[in-house]
């Protein structure tokens, strides 16, 4: 029997060629390329190609891949009517979980797990996730749905469908960088979930749906919304120090800080911090950035010695807010990016599959006599 590790901490559960993390040095690479280079030079579509193919695309390959994604933006006939049937009060993460799953109804072979078919299905989910999110948001606000524009890249098209107007290039680019930074991240909880489901030879829709459920949790992708709530709660930059100290005294976790793997500055946060500052200046939200800096200073002073630093979610909150995303769309946006990584892991798992089935350490009683119900 192997040693028990609560939360599977330190347990290696799969081989991967996708992303490499050095948590002590704060390094993240996709297929060996440092995340900073991808954030600076790549696009979300190209990054997904990289992960799915293990190499950067040629010009022709990228054009084909992008064209395929764009051809899949539109939702199937009747899908919008189903979105209209959803109560406007539904939480967008629950909507994403249910509607991404529902795409399988429109697939003639939903259970096909041959690699080519899985790629098609994954591309379909990736292309349609922004359309679903924008349509739900507009319907719940009583606004007309905007059809996707296949002449636009995924990020620009999403913001156009969401707001009914083309975004400024800086905003579309910023969203795209966020998606690149969120695409993959080792065997995080939601990716593990996708691989666990895949290991039963279940379908890719189930794998992605399960992963969305995992991502929603405040210990995982849900933390970006938690950060925004915290920033809204803090009245001013000057009030940040006391607010954080009070929370730490109560042993509350500060959202956007800490990580199971990183014991150094999360390299994604390094890039998002720069992006958040530029966008905050551009959009008149510098107070949000300044509050974030004040929080970070207290946290570094109090917690850096324990290896607790800002993670990906900390500066994504300000970034998403400045891009104009409503607060409850922050985590769904993470879904859009991470579908690229989850799918890459599903393909990798299928390529060398073994059923995940860990053991448990039974700590309950034995040989207990059954007591009839009228004697209890």
Point out the residues that are catalytic.
220, 259, 313
Cα gap 240→233, rounded to integer Å: 10
Q: How many residues does the chain have?
A: 376
What ranges make up the beta strands (E) of the chain? 19-22, 27-30, 33-34
Which residues make up the interface to ligand COA (CB under 6 A)?
7, 219-220, 223, 253-260, 306, 308, 311-313
- Please report how close the Cβ of residue 321 comes to ligand COA at its closest, in angstroms: 17
Cα gap 268→274, rounded to integer Å: 10
Estimate the crossing angle of helix 169-182 against helix 312-323, to 10 degrees: 160
Cα gap 272→89, rounded to integer Å: 30
Nearer to ligand COA, 256 or 340 (CB): 256
Kindly report the CA angle at 219 between 96 and 215, in degrees rounded to 5? Answer: 20
Cα gap 130→233, rounded to integer Å: 29
Cα gap 230→321, rounded to integer Å: 13
- Please report how close the Cβ of residue 191 comes to ligand COA at its closest, in angstroms: 12
Cα gap 134→75, rounded to integer Å: 12
Nearer to ligand COA, 230 or 322 (CB): 230
Nearer to ligand COA, 119 or 185 (CB): 185
> Under DSSP, is residue 213 helix (H, G, I), strand (E, B) or coil?
helix
Nearer to ligand COA, 311 or 349 (CB): 311
Cα gap 352→226, rounded to integer Å: 37
- Please report how close the Cβ of residue 10 comes to ligand COA at its closest, in angstroms: 11
Structure tokens at 245: 């100290």
Nearer to ligand COA, 184 or 313 (CB): 313
Cα gap 225→269, rounded to integer Å: 15
- Please report how close the Cβ of residue 222 comes to ligand COA at its closest, in angstroms: 8
Structure tokens at 24: 């002590």
Nearer to ligand COA, 214 or 311 (CB): 311
- Please report how close the Cβ of residue 37 comes to ligand COA at its closest, in angstroms: 22
Q: Among the residues of 72-168, which ranges form H helices?
A: 79-84, 92-102, 115-140, 154-163
């Amino acid at each position: 029997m192997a040693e028990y590790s609560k939360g599977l901490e330190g347990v290696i559960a799969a081989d991967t060629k996708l992303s490499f993390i050095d948590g002590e040095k704060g390094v993240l690479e996709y297929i060996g390329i440092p995340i900073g280079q991808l954030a600076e030079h790549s696009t979300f579509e190209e990054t997904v190609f990289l992960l799915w193919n293990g190499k950067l695309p040629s010009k022709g390959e990228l054009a084909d891949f992008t064209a395929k994604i764009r051809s899949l933006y539109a939702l199937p006939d009747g899908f919008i009517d189903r979105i209209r049937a959803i109560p406007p009060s539904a939480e967008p993460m629950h909507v994403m979980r249910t509607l991404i799953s529902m795409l399988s109804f429109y697939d003639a072979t939903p259970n096909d797990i041959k690699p080519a078919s899985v790629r098609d299905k994954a591309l379909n989910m990736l292309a349609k996730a922004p359309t679903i999110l924008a349509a739900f948001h507009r319907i719940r606000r009583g606004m007309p749905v905007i059809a996707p524009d296949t002449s636009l890249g995924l990020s620009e098209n999403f913001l156009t469908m969401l707001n009914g107007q083309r975004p400024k290039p800086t905003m579309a680019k910023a969203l795209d960088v966020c998606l690149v930074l969120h695409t993959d991240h080792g065997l995080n909880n939601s990716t593990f979930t996708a691989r666990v489901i895949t290991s039963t030879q279940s379908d890719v829709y189930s794998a992605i749906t399960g992963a969305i459920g995992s991502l929603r949790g405040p210990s995982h992708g849900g933390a970006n919304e938690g950060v925004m709530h915290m920033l809204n709660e803090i009245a001013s930059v000057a009030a940040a120090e006391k607010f954080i100290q009070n929370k730490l005294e109560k042993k509350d976790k500060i959202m956007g800080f800490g990580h199971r793997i990183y014991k150094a500055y999360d390299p994604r946060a390094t890039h998002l911090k720069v992006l958040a500052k530029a966008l905050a200046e551009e959009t008149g939200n510098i107070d949000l950035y300044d509050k974030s800096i004040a929080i970070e200073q207290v946290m570094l002073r109090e917690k850096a010695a324990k290896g607790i630093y800002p993670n990906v979610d900390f500066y994504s909150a300000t970034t998403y807010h400045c891009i104009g995303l409503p607060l409850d769309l922050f985590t769904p946006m993470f879904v859009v990016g991470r579908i690229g990584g989850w799918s890459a892991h599903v393909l990798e798992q299928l390529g060398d599959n073994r059923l995940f089935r860990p053991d448990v350490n039974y700590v309950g009683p034995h040989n207990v006599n059954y007591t009839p119900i009228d004697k209890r």
